[in-house]
Every structure is written in C-alpha cells, then in structure tokens.
Chains A and B, each alone.
With several copies, the nearest count.
Chain A
Amino acid sequence: MMTGVCERAVDLGAPDLLVEFETLPPMTVDPQLGVTITNILATILHAVQARHGIKAALRLTPNDSRDHRRPPPMRSGYYWENMLRLFAAAGAAGADMLAIESTGGKEIHDDALMNADLEGIVYALGVLAPRDMSFLWRHIVQICNDTGIVPSGDTGCGFANTAMALASQKMVPRVLAAIVRVACVPRGLVAFNEGAVGPSKDCAYEGPYFKAIAGVPISMEGRSAACAHLSPLGNIPMAACDCWSNESVQNVRLLSAPAPVVSMDQLIFDCRLMNRASLDGREASLTLRRWLEESDALLDPQAYVLKPQIVFDISQQIVLQPTPYLQTRTAVLAAVEALKQGVKHNGLTLSAIELRWLDKLATQSAALPEDEDEFIALMMRKYKDSPYIPTEYGLPCT
C-alpha cells in the first residue's frame, strides 16, 4: 500500500509528500510492533525519496490507548508507559514528526454529546482535556526534543469529529456539532503552548483557528476524506490549509487501483489546482480561497464556523481569555452568536429544527458560569458517579 501510494505520487510528479501513520491500538499497547511498522514505512519512504527526489516526511501518530481501561488512568499504568516507550522510540524508528489524538475528557464528552448537554461538553473540553493535554504534551515535547523530531499537534477528532459524524447521521443537531468544533480550539492550543509546532493533524478541522491564533502550519482534509467520514466540509477546509490530506482510506481494491492510491491521486490534483492558482499571485489565491469557502459556508453551520472571517473574529475573543475553561466558554458563546448572526444577516441556511436547537443551545450556553471554580465544583458534583477519575486530571478527590 505504501509503495503504491508513493508510486502514484511520483507518477504524477508531486513535489512533496507527508505520510502519516496512525497506529492501531495493538501497536501502541505493544510499542515494539509500532516501532517495527514505523521502521518499514520509513524505509520505503526514504527509498522513494532517494530514488525520485520527492521530498517526503513521516508523521507517527500513536493512538491514545489510555482509555482502554475504564475509568482511564491518564498519568500512570501499563498503557501510559507503553505510549511513552513508543514516543521515545519513534525518532530512531524513522519518524520525522510525532502527533496524537489525545482522549482526555472523552469519557465525559461522549455521553454529554448524545444528550446535547453543553455543560458536560464544556467540562470535558474546557477543563479535563486541557489539563490532560498539558501533562501529556509536556512529555511529548520533551521526548521530541531529546530525539530530534518534530512535535506536531493534537486534534479534537474524538470530540468534534464524533459530533460531526453523529450530525451527518442526523443523530445530533448540526449546530451542536458546529459549536463543539469551536469548543475544541482551546484544548488544541494547549499542545502549541507546550511546544508543539505543527503542522496540525488533518482531521482537526478546527485547524484554521490554530493558524489564526498560534500561527502554526496546518494540515486539513475535506472531500478527500469522504472515505473516512462524510461531512459537510468538502471545500472550505482547503481554503486555509498548508498540507492537504486524506484520512483512513481502507485498503480495498477499486477497479483501477487500491483505494489509497486512488485517494492520493485525487489529493495531488487538488494540490495542483491550488498551486496553479497561487502561481497567479496573492489576489488569485484569495479568489480561489473565497470560492472554496463560499461554496460550502452557507449550506451548513459546521462550514460556516470555518469561514476565515468568523475564524478571525472568534479567535480574537478566545485569546483575550486567561484560562482554557474561560476560553472554551467564550468559544461556545461566540460560536452561538456567530451562527445567530449568520442566519440573521449573512444567508446561513438552517432548518426549523436546527433553529429550535440553536435557541436551546444558546440558553444552555448563557448558563455557563464565569467563575471557573464554581463551574468545576458544580461539575464535580454532577459527575461524581461517572466513570472518570478527577485526580488523573489534577483535580481534587470527590
């Protein structure tokens, strides 16, 4: 598969290539397995690089296996230690970058999402996840520095992409998924604050916010990732991306070639178009960007919150807040407000049912207290019987 993908890239004369390897759980749980596979991929990639002169890099994304135990111990134990081992071995195995889809807070978020419970969502994304990521990324950045590879970034995949997938299946409102997307921004910033430098993960559709706030390069995926999740974000993610990517293409044979090769093919043609437009200068790039943006933005609230103008507006409000909780609360409030304004003044189309939900969520968001300690105390009571361990997030015992 790796060989086929690289060959197609070479055939089409692609100049650069970033390959990401996301481990499956057994490869993190048994780091030796992850190392072996990384090594194989790196060897193929470097051979292609040497033979064809294409610039290639390998990003290793160990999956976060800490949630294999419920409630998950986040800072110790078997799974954590094996993750650390894989991080430490990545550089020697041939990886050029390290990333992760960290899962801190997911044990609270999943249920809160199904219940459209903003309070719980904000507790997971604004309190638990940032505390976990601060701990986790301090380790990752240290290890990357020690082994000479690049700490790239994290993603709200387990949160916002779950919401997006559920919205696609008409299980939760699209406006909720849009709000969760923006609410994932502060947690993502934690990685950059700890020293990650990008490019962000492709499945972090909240990437444009990272670019606006932290100034890091971002990977994005859109229609090219439809194989992994159908989404209303087909063109708009392309508007701000630095790397253009696909995602989890299953290695099934299509009539022409294995699906990953087909997908690589399509990515390259997308890149050709973007590169061709940018050859015509800054004006031209902005024109294509505007078309990409405007072709999606008004058709779905999840696309709307990725409009560059909205990203700038909300980002400015987020950076004024001192703590991740307050940033997340602001992100939610600002996203609700942006959607309301979008419907009122800018032609965003929402169905009657979505509008009803936007009101419900506005009411919920208005109730989020400004006092962080008050909020945490409230949530610790609310979730005292839930399957998570507050001390694993640096919170007091319940």
Chain B
Amino acid sequence: MTEHPLYIAVLDGDARGARAAVEEALNAGADPQDLLSSYMIPAMDEVGKRFDDGEYFVPELLIAARAMKSGLELLRPLLAETGAKPVGTVIVGTVRGDLHDIGKNLVASMLEGGGFKVIDLGVDVAPEKFTAAINEHHPDILAMSALLTTTMPGMKTTIDVLKQDGLRDSVKIMIGGAPVTRRYATEIGADAFSESASGAVREAKSLLKL
C-alpha cells in the first residue's frame, strides 16, 4: 500500500500526481471505492499521524488535503454511481461577531481532506444564516468556532435558535476554538468538541459512526 503512487502523492501533497494516479488506476480498471479506502484515506491518516507526532506542520496537512481533494473530485461521481455513501456534509463557520478564521479554515481544509463535503459560511455568521444553510444543504454536521470569550456565547444562541426552528435534531453539532472547553460543549448541548483541527476530523467521523 505505502508504495502505491496514489498513496505517495497524497502523503507528499502532490495534487497533480494524485489526480494522475487516480486516472491511471481507473484506466487500469481499479475500483473507485477501493482506491479511496486502500490508498487515499490511509495516506491522510498517516498525514494526521505525522502531524500529531510533530513530524508535519499545518502547511503539509493543507497540501495533502488539497491533493486528497483533487483526487476525490475524479472519484466522487463514480462513487455516487456505485451507490457508495459519501463521507458526509459539514457546514462550518465562526459565530456572530467573531472574525477570526484561521482555525476555522484549517478545520474546513482538514475535513475536506478527510473526504467530507464542506460548506464554509465564513466568519461572523448569524444564527439565522446557519439555519438557512441547514435548510438548504441538509448537512450531517454543523461545526462552529469562536476565538473570543466574548463571542463564544454565540454558539449557545445558535443552538437555541436551531431548537426553536425544530432543526436541532436534524444535525450533529461540533464546536471548537481557543476558549471552548469540553465542559462548555456539554453545557450548551453540543454533540462534540475538539481542541485541534486533526481532532475535529476524528470527532466528525465518530459522530457519523465512520
């Protein structure tokens, strides 16, 4: 596995190489689901592991995620044909008043690298904008972030609005950001919490029982 060009291209963050390797493999008759689960996902797992071990930095995560994504773009229509379930859809955004998007962008990229479809609502997202997006995209997960203690309460407000609108049970909710703690997540009734971007992918997968 670790010698397969697709695995190597994702691990090295070589987007063009990843696309080429997917094309070649498909031409040679490979099964799309097999390409994904035997090479691409293991490569991203290895990237995550290297990051956790301090051997990779975020830039290396990001280019690997982009390589993964460019390979996936070829695979996704084929996977849909074969009826394979997509990993999941996530809406991400920072809560109202919060303009800090470094962490949010990182989580979005990592989720994409993890095979999720990501709808990024950007920064300073009002609760109504979250609900509108849920109604439009029917995501599996809503992921909110906040960097400031002053904006963090926007997470609770958003969850309250979801409840009012009867949408709370239609999505899993994940939160994160510097001031956010597991305890706060429990308090406001979020389903998951992560301290780090790589942790966010793990949490998202476990929420969807993947």
A and B in direct contact, judged by CB atoms within 8 A: yes
Q: Which residues of B contact A357 (CB under 8 A)?
A: 57
Is the CB–CB distance between A116 and B123 below 8 Å? no
Q: How far is the CB of B102 from chain A (nearest CB, A)?
A: 5
Is the CB–CB distance between B54 and A353 below 8 Å? yes
Are A172 and B57 also in contact (CB < 8 A) when A111-B105, A114-B106, A162-B102 are? yes
Q: Which residues of A contact B62 (CB under 8 A)?
A: 114-115
Q: Which residues of B contact A114 (CB under 8 A)?
A: 58-59, 62, 102, 105-106
Contact of B57 among A67, A68, A110, A173 (CB under 8 A): A173
B55 CB–A CB distance under 8 Å: yes
Is the CB–CB distance between A115 and B59 below 8 Å? yes
The answer for the CA separation of A116 and B105 in the assembled complex, in Å, is 14
B164 CB–A CB distance under 8 Å: no
Q: Which residues of A contact B102 (CB under 8 A)?
A: 110, 113-114, 162, 166
A24 CB–B CB distance under 8 Å: yes
Q: Which residues of B contact A382 (CB under 8 A)?
A: none
Q: Which residues of A contact B199 (CB under 8 A)?
A: none
The answer for the CA separation of A353 and B56 in the assembled complex, in Å, is 8
Q: How far is the CB of A358 from chain B (nearest CB, A)?
A: 12
Is the CB–CB distance between B123 and A70 below 8 Å? yes
Number of interface residues of A (CB under 8 A): 20
Is the CB–CB distance between B59 and A172 below 8 Å? yes
A345 CB–B CB distance under 8 Å: no
Q: Which residues of B contact A286 (CB under 8 A)?
A: none
The answer for the CA separation of A307 and B150 in the assembled complex, in Å, is 38
Q: Which of A24, A170, A172 has the most CB of B within 10 A?
A: A170
The answer for the CA separation of A115 and B59 in the assembled complex, in Å, is 4
Q: How far is the CB of B98 from chain A (nearest CB, A)?
A: 10
The answer for the CA separation of A29 and B122 in the assembled complex, in Å, is 21
Q: Which residues of A contact B63 (CB under 8 A)?
A: 115
Chain A 99-129 near chain B by CB (<8 Å), digits 1 or 0: 0000000000011011111000000000000
A395 CB–B CB distance under 8 Å: no
Is the CB–CB distance between B59 and A170 below 8 Å? no
B101 CB–A CB distance under 8 Å: yes
A171 CB–B CB distance under 8 Å: yes
B8 CB–A CB distance under 8 Å: no
Is the CB–CB distance between A70 and B57 below 8 Å? no
Interface residue SS majority, chain B: loop
B79 CB–A CB distance under 8 Å: no
Q: How far is the CB of A361 from chain B (nearest CB, A)?
A: 10
Is the CB–CB distance between A166 and B55 below 8 Å? no
Chain B 99-122 near chain A by CB (<8 Å), digits 1 or 0: 101100110000000000000001
Q: Which residues of A contact B55 (CB under 8 A)?
A: 353
The answer for the CA separation of A290 and B122 in the assembled complex, in Å, is 47
Q: How far is the CB of B155 from chain A (nearest CB, A)?
A: 17
Is the CB–CB distance between B150 and A68 below 8 Å? no
Q: Which residues of A contact B105 (CB under 8 A)?
A: 110-111, 114
Q: Which residues of B contact A170 (CB under 8 A)?
A: 54, 57
Q: How far is the CB of B67 from chain A (nearest CB, A)?
A: 13
The answer for the CA separation of A171 and B62 in the assembled complex, in Å, is 11
B52's closest neighbor in chain A, by CB? A170
The answer for the CA separation of A353 and B58 in the assembled complex, in Å, is 13
B55's closest neighbor in chain A, by CB? A353
Question: Which residues of chain B in 84-139 are interfacial with respect to chain A, using CB atoms and an 8 Å cutoff?
Answer: 99, 101-102, 105-106, 122-124
The answer for the CA separation of A73 and B105 in the assembled complex, in Å, is 22
Q: Which residues of A contact B54 (CB under 8 A)?
A: 170, 353
Q: Which residues of A contact B106 (CB under 8 A)?
A: 114, 171
Question: Which residues of chain A in 306-346 are interfacial with respect to chain B, using CB atoms and an 8 Å cutoff?
Answer: none
Chain B 159-185 near chain A by CB (<8 Å), digits 1 or 0: 000000000000000000001000000
Question: Which residues of chain A in 226-271 are interfacial with respect to chain B, using CB atoms and an 8 Å cutoff?
Answer: 253
Q: How far is the CB of B118 from chain A (nearest CB, A)?
A: 16
Q: Which of B55, B57, B58, B150 has the most CB of A within 10 A?
A: B57
The answer for the CA separation of A185 and B105 in the assembled complex, in Å, is 27
Chain A 144-172 near chain B by CB (<8 Å), digits 1 or 0: 00000000000000000010001000111
Q: Which residues of B contact A110 (CB under 8 A)?
A: 101-102, 105
Could you jot down 19 A-B contacts, CB within 8 Å?
Answer: A68-B124, A70-B122, A110-B101, A110-B105, A111-B105, A113-B102, A114-B58, A114-B62, A114-B106, A115-B62, A116-B57, A116-B58, A166-B102, A170-B54, A172-B57, A172-B58, A172-B59, A353-B55, A357-B57
Residues of A near any B CB (own CB < 8 A): 24, 67-68, 70, 110-111, 113-117, 162, 166, 170-173, 253, 353, 357
Additional A-B contacts beyond A253-B179, A353-B57 (4; CB < 8 A):
A114-B106, A117-B59, A162-B102, A171-B58
Query: Which 8 residue pairs are nearest across A and B when measured between Cβ atoms?
Result: A116-B59, A171-B58, A115-B59, A110-B102, A172-B57, A173-B57, A114-B58, A115-B62
